[in-house]
Copies of this chain bind each other. A is one copy, B any other.
């Protein structure tokens, strides 16, 4: 298979996925029809279906490609041995998230969709696994200050990454439903509740 053609296919899939994301951001998951994506992309129904076998596969591609922000800065900080605390990692992740322009409302809709679409759920777990691995790397130095055993440190980092994810999910769901809120305010409020 010539590489040019593969590149072309991938570029075409990306073009369709970007058109889909624009409609999704505008109308939401439920109210985005294939007809809308056809109109937004300027292609035809059949053209979409010659690049994605169905709507679910397109959704999976969008999630895998655009739904999670990269947290390279955090990761390299951890790699260079800088002490990133879990709280700083959470704060950094939420800030990157906000800067990436990902709408909490759209993310929440995809979570809901994943409850009913196993392939999308799998893709989300895969994408989340990357994020957790990045987080674990970032807080690695912190974990090693808490235990001398390397295996213990790794599992502490992994468990902590799940808690960071849970807090991030809380922030996203809460701002989506109840309106925007500053990350710092949210962290202070949550800390006060848990310390009480």
Contact = CB atoms under 8 A, between A and B. Distances in A.
Contacts of A128: 177-178
A96 interface: no
A57 to B, nearest CB: 16
Given A174-B166, A177-B169, A109 B116 contact: yes
Nearest to A193: B86
B112 A29 contact: yes
Contact of A166 (B28, B108, B160, B189): B189
Contact of A170 (B109, B121, B160, B171): B171
A166 B190 CA distance: 8
A34 interface: no
Copies held by the complex: 2
Interface in A86-131: 86-87, 90, 105-106, 108-116, 121, 124-125, 128
Contacts of A191: 194-195
A31 interface: yes
B194 A167 contact: yes
Contacts of A112: 29, 108-113
Given A166-B171, A167-B170, A173-B170, A192 B114 contact: no
Please list the 3 inter-chain residue pairs (A to B) with the smallest Cβ-Cβ separation, ordered nearest first.
Answer: A170-B170, A112-B112, A163-B189
Given A109-B115, A168-B170, 13 more contacts: A28-B115, A29-B116, A87-B195, A106-B115, A108-B112, A109-B116, A111-B173, A125-B178, A142-B196, A169-B170, A169-B173, A170-B174, A190-B194
